[in-house]
């Protein structure tokens, strides 16, 4: 039926726009002009650089581009200098990144001026939560591109092509690392058969400058090593890791290191043996140090018994500051709870002054509508990176606290949990590709704005390819006015819309059950630990709503540096967007808007629904500028998003309305679902 629809509807454009399934991402084939590439050296990476230029050159025909190596100290790591003559860099990867930057500027119409571009983070890593059986935890775009269930060790030409396409896309935005498996790691990943496959993948990624990493299970020595303990201070354990690491480096000499989730959500860890996170991380760090590897140790820890989950990572890790080896880097999620639509930044940023710290963002939209909702995440990451921690005085943004500009770090790194799967368009939702793109771009340059990134991505991904040569005069200006501007606006407003229709005003974790998609502020089965249920977070009752984290509550505010501590603690200065994160307030609380808290909540949910409807309108209007395949897919997903938004609003307002005991203001559209029905349908799905 969708095909019929697609076929029947006549495109209003002058020229037919080529159907696109999105597999080409932002790297769509161009009709290139001739170019002469001059490079004194040769290597697999340089060969790629040359081919990219030849295949994608849309600059002056028959121009010459020089790819040159330099010792210029202005260029750091894999950075490069862009100039009229070409690209200078210190490394092969630097040349490659320069080529991609040059082509991007050509294709987006940006000026190419003399400029040095250095990466903000040395390691820009995608964490794939892919399981050896081919499934992906929190993956919404099909199975794993790395692993599969049947015939798991066969490596086909198709696999190799896909891995290469993946590597190219990563490199084109500056990503230089990939953790190939889930942080909830199977010990099997360190078995000989799996390591052989890891090596095959690493060999494909390497020419694109991408290092391979693995997540490891702390108890691997017991589970696949036959030892009786995984105690990090046990010499047998230490030895097992050393041997295993040696094996890995024999296969993959540039192996990046390990990512470890330990003593978190049921994962084994050093605390099982009475040891600290530092003991565990350092043992591994020592074992991998001779090979140049690093240990990324996650700070995402919390216990069911604690009264405020938001405090726990800080409480557990700050006492260990200074105790970690210099090849350990603590991986900290952007917020103190768990990738919610909005959280304040984690207080660990800037607090561990003697320890390398790396931010972990979630590219896959676990809590943001998965592959259904159009939510551009760059604004969320930008909000976090630009948050001032005050840990080193004013201007100590999360970006500065992690990129080495505030504290010396042996390593700087940033991780994004990937949203990539076997779907032909990689990410499930065409606009979810923008989040992959944005993560890479921000990892390279953490000063970029969301608007710049959206602009680039839209130009690369949606400017009609067929038109390059024969478009009518004025077409580009028309496209910019009628497609680029409204769609960019939609992207930039999309995250705030999601916050509005899901959990505004600092509310968080209102999801039903474990799939983290639909609303479930009521969801609290007896068997489930309280800190995995929404009532733990919203604390709504007839007295009010919100989590009191002030100094008379859980005192989580004290984990923030002044003046934030006081700012968050006081109702007069706490920003509305964090209000119910830090405060439990009566329903009649008078907001700055003049509305009561209850009314304000209603207006936010309503606003969210209206915003998505407006996105639908925006998208429907750009039909003449988009190929049918992507147009229809996005249109369909926006419809689902719109009805989901309505469901969120209906569920939350009716659920909280039981406590507020106040009606929904009359100028707000009425619910179309009964709360009873929503709960029943939700329960039936379990």
Between 21 and 636, whose beta carbon lies closer to a second copy? 636
Of 245-253, 357-365, 585-593, 666-674, which segment contacts a second copy by CB under 8 A?
666-674
Interface with a second copy (CB under 8 A), residue total 39
Q: How far is CA 395 from CA 346, 391, 585, in A?
A: 16, 9, 31
Q: Is 2 in the site for a second copy (CB under 8 A)?
A: yes
Q: Is 47 in the site for a second copy (CB under 8 A)?
A: no
* Separation CA 177–CA 4 (nearest Å): 43
| Residue numbers 601-660 binding a second copy by CB under 8 A | 613, 616-617, 620-621, 623, 636, 638-640, 642-643, 646, 650, 654, 657-659
Q: Quote the least distance from Cβ 675 to a second copy, whole Å.
A: 6
Q: Quote the least distance from Cβ 671 to a second copy, whole Å.
A: 6
* Separation CA 414–CA 175 (nearest Å): 10
Q: Where are the alpha helices (DSSP H) in 234-273?
A: 235-251
Q: Is the dihedral of CA 150, 152, 157, 162 positive or negative?
A: positive
Q: State the residue for tokens 């009709």.
A: 31
Q: Where are the alpha helices (DSSP H) in 294-403?
A: 312-317, 378-385, 398-402
Of 121-129, 220-228, 513-521, 672-680, which segment contacts a second copy by CB under 8 A?
672-680
Of 7-15, 43-51, 225-233, 395-403, which segment contacts a second copy by CB under 8 A?
7-15
Tokens of 451: 């608007």
Among 55, 193, 669, 681, binds a second copy (CB under 8 A): 669
Between 350 and 657, whose beta carbon lies closer to a second copy? 657
Question: Is 146 within 8 Å of 214 (Cβ atoms)?
Answer: no
Q: Is 156 in the site for a second copy (CB under 8 A)?
A: no
Q: Quote the least distance from Cβ 500 to a second copy, whole Å.
A: 17
Of 90-98, 159-167, 189-197, 671-679, which segment contacts a second copy by CB under 8 A?
671-679
Q: State the residue for tokens 């509508």.
A: 369
Q: Is the dihedral of CA 137, 142, 148, 149 positive or negative?
A: positive
Q: Point out which residues pair with 68 in neighbouring strands.
A: 88
Between 71 and 670, whose beta carbon lies closer to a second copy? 670
Between 40 and 667, whose beta carbon lies closer to a second copy? 667
* Separation CA 80–CA 8 (nearest Å): 49
Q: State the residue for tokens 């909000």.
A: 383
Q: Quote the least distance from Cβ 638 to a second copy, whole Å.
A: 7
Among 10, 154, 473, 684, binds a second copy (CB under 8 A): 10
* Separation CA 569–CA 571 (nearest Å): 7
Between 34 and 663, whose beta carbon lies closer to a second copy? 663
Which contiguous run of DSSP H or E holds residue 211?
strand 211-216
Q: Is 74 in the site for a second copy (CB under 8 A)?
A: no
Between 43 and 643, whose beta carbon lies closer to a second copy? 643
265 is catalytic: yes
Q: Quote the least distance from Cβ 6 to a second copy, whole Å.
A: 10
Between 491 and 557, whose beta carbon lies closer to a second copy? 491
Q: How far is CA 624 from CA 272, 618, 630, in A?
A: 60, 12, 12
Q: Quote the least distance from Cβ 670 to a second copy, whole Å.
A: 4
Of 176-184, 292-300, 584-592, 663-671, which segment contacts a second copy by CB under 8 A?
663-671
Between 193 and 674, whose beta carbon lies closer to a second copy? 674
Between 78 and 423, whose beta carbon lies closer to a second copy? 423
| Residue numbers 250-279 binding a second copy by CB under 8 A | none
Q: Quote the least distance from Cβ 660 to a second copy, whole Å.
A: 9
Q: Quote the least distance from Cβ 625 to a second copy, whole Å.
A: 14
Between 334 and 654, whose beta carbon lies closer to a second copy? 654
Q: Is 663 in the site for a second copy (CB under 8 A)?
A: yes
φ and ψ of 130, to 5 deg: -95, 135
Output the 3-class SS for 82-93. Answer: ECCCEEEECCHH
Q: Quote the least distance from Cβ 669 to a second copy, whole Å.
A: 6
Nearest alpha carbon to residue 500 among 611, 656, 635, 634: 611
Q: Is 664 in the site for a second copy (CB under 8 A)?
A: yes
Q: Quote the least distance from Cβ 476 to a second copy, whole Å.
A: 23
Out of 127, 308, 338, 650, pick the active-site residue: 338
* Separation CA 421–CA 129 (nearest Å): 10
Out of 366, 455, 531, 682, pick the active-site residue: 366
φ and ψ of 504, to 5 deg: -80, 175
| Residue numbers 514-573 binding a second copy by CB under 8 A | 542
* Separation CA 278–CA 328 (nearest Å): 9
Q: State the residue for tokens 């090979």.
A: 291
Q: Is the dihedral of CA 431, 437, 441, 446 positive or negative?
A: positive
Q: Quote the least distance from Cβ 372 to a second copy, whole Å.
A: 12
Q: Is 670 exposed, middle or buried (0-12, 13-18, 19+ CB in 10 A)?
A: exposed
Residue 391 DSSP symbol: B
φ and ψ of 491, to 5 deg: -60, -45
Whether the link from the prior residue into 131 is cis, omega within 30° of 0, is no
Among 71, 527, 661, 684, binds a second copy (CB under 8 A): 661
Between 327 and 642, whose beta carbon lies closer to a second copy? 642
Q: Is 670 in the site for a second copy (CB under 8 A)?
A: yes
Out of 193, 265, 515, 620, pick the active-site residue: 265
Q: Quote the least distance from Cβ 65 to a second copy, whole Å.
A: 45
Q: Is 666 in the site for a second copy (CB under 8 A)?
A: yes
Q: Is 1 in the site for a second copy (CB under 8 A)?
A: yes
Q: Is 686 in the site for a second copy (CB under 8 A)?
A: no
- What angle, 0 to 180 degrees and rounded to 10, lies between the N-to-C axes of helices 192-205 and 157-172? 50
User: How many CB atoms lie under 10 A from the CB of residue 64?
Assistant: 11
Between 33 and 675, whose beta carbon lies closer to a second copy? 675
φ and ψ of 273, to 5 deg: -115, 20
* Separation CA 534–CA 528 (nearest Å): 11
Among 307, 674, 685, 686, binds a second copy (CB under 8 A): 674
Residue 515 DSSP symbol: T
Half-sphere exposure of residue 682, counting CA atoms within 13 Å on the CB side? 26
Catalytic residues: 265, 338, 366
Give the interface with a second copy as residue ranges (CB under 8 A). Answer: 1-2, 4-5, 8-10, 542, 613, 616-617, 620-621, 623, 636, 638-640, 642-643, 646, 650, 654, 657-659, 661, 663-664, 666, 669-676, 679
């Amino acid at each position: 039926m969708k095909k019929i629809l697609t076929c029947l509807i006549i495109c209003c454009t002058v020229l037919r726009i080529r159907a696109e399934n999105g597999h080409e991402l932002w790297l769509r084939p161009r009709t290139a002009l001739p170019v002469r590439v001059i490079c004194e050296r040769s290597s697999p990476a340089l060969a790629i650089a040359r081919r990219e230029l030849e295949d994608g050159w849309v600059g002056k025909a028959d121009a010459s581009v020089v790819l040159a190596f330099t010792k210029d100290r202005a260029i750091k790591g894999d950075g490069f200098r862009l100039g009229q003559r070409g690209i200078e860099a210190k490394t092969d990867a630097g040349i490659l990144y320069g080529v991609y930057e040059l082509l991007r500027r050509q294709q987006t119409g940006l000026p190419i001026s003399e400029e040095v571009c250095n990466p903000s983070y040395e390691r820009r890593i995608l964490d794939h939560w892919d399981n050896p059986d081919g499934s992906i935890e929190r993956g919404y775009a099909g199975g794993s591109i790395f692993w599969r269930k049947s015939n798991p060790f066969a490596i086909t030409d198709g696999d190799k092509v896909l891995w290469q396409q993946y590597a190219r896309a990563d490199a084109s935005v500056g990503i230089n690392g990939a953790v190939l498996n889930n942080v909830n790691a199977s010990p099997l990943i360190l078995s000989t058969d799996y390591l052989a496959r890891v090596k095959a993948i690493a060999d494909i990624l390497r020419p694109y400058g991408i290092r391979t990493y693995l997540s490891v299970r702390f108890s691997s020595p017991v589970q696949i090593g036959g030892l009786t303990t995984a105690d990090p201070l046990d010499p047998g354990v230490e030895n097992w890791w050393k041997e295993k690491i040696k094996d890995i480096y024999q296969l993959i000499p540039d192996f990046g290191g390990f990512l470890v989730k330990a003593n978190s959500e049921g994962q084994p860890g050093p605390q099982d043996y009475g040891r600290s996170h530092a003991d565990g991380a350092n043992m591994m760090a020592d074992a991998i140090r001779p090979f140049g590897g690093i240990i990324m140790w996650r700070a995402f820890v919390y216990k069911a018994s604690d009264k405020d989950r938001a405090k726990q990572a800080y409480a557990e890790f700050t006492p260990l500051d200074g105790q970690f080896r210099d090849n350990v880097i603590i991986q900290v999620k952007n917020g103190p709870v768990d990738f919610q639509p909005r959280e304040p930044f984690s207080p660990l940023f800037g607090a561990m002054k003697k320890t390398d710290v790396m931010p972990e963002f979630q590219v896959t939209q676990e809590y943001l509508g998965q592959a259904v909702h159009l939510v551009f995440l760059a604004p969320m990451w930008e909000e976090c990176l630009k948050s001032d921690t005050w840990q080193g005085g004013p201007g100590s943004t999360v970006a500065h606290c992690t990129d080495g500009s505030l504290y010396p770090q042996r390593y700087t790194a940033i991780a994004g949990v990937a949203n990539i799967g076997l779907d032909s368009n990689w990410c499930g939702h065409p606009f979810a590709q923008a989040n992959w793109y944005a993560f890479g771009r921000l990892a390279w340059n953490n000063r970029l704005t969301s608007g710049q990134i959206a602009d680039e991505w839209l130009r690369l991904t949606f400017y009609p390819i067929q038109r390059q040569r024969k478009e009518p005069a004025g077409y580009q200006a028309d496209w910019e006015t009628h497609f680029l501007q409204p769609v960019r606006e939609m992207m930039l407003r999309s995250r705030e819309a999601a916050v509005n229709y899901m959990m505004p005003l600092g509310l968080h974790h209102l999801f039903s059950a474990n799939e983290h998609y639909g609303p479930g502020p009521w969801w609290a089965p007896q068997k489930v630990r309280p800190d995995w249920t929404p009532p733990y977070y919203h604390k709504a009752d007839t007295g009010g709503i919100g989590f009191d984290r002030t100094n008379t509550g859980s005192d989580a505010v004290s984990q923030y540096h002044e003046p934030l501590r006081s700012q968050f603690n006081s109702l007069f200065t706490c920003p509305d967007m964090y209000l119910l994160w830090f405060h439990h307030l009566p329903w009649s609380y008078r907001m700055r808007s003049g509305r009561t808290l209850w009314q304000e909540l209603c207006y936010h949910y309503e606003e969210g629904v209206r915003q998505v409807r407006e996105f639908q309108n925006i998208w429907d209007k750009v039909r003449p500028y988009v190929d049918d395949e992507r147009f229809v897919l996005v249109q369909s997903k926006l419809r689902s998003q719109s009805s989901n938004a309505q469901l969120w609003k209906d569920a939350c307002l009716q659920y909280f309305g039981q406590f507020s005991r106040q009606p929904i203001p009359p100028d707000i559209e009425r619910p179309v679902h009964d709360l009873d029905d929503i709960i029943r349908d939700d329960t039936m799905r379990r």
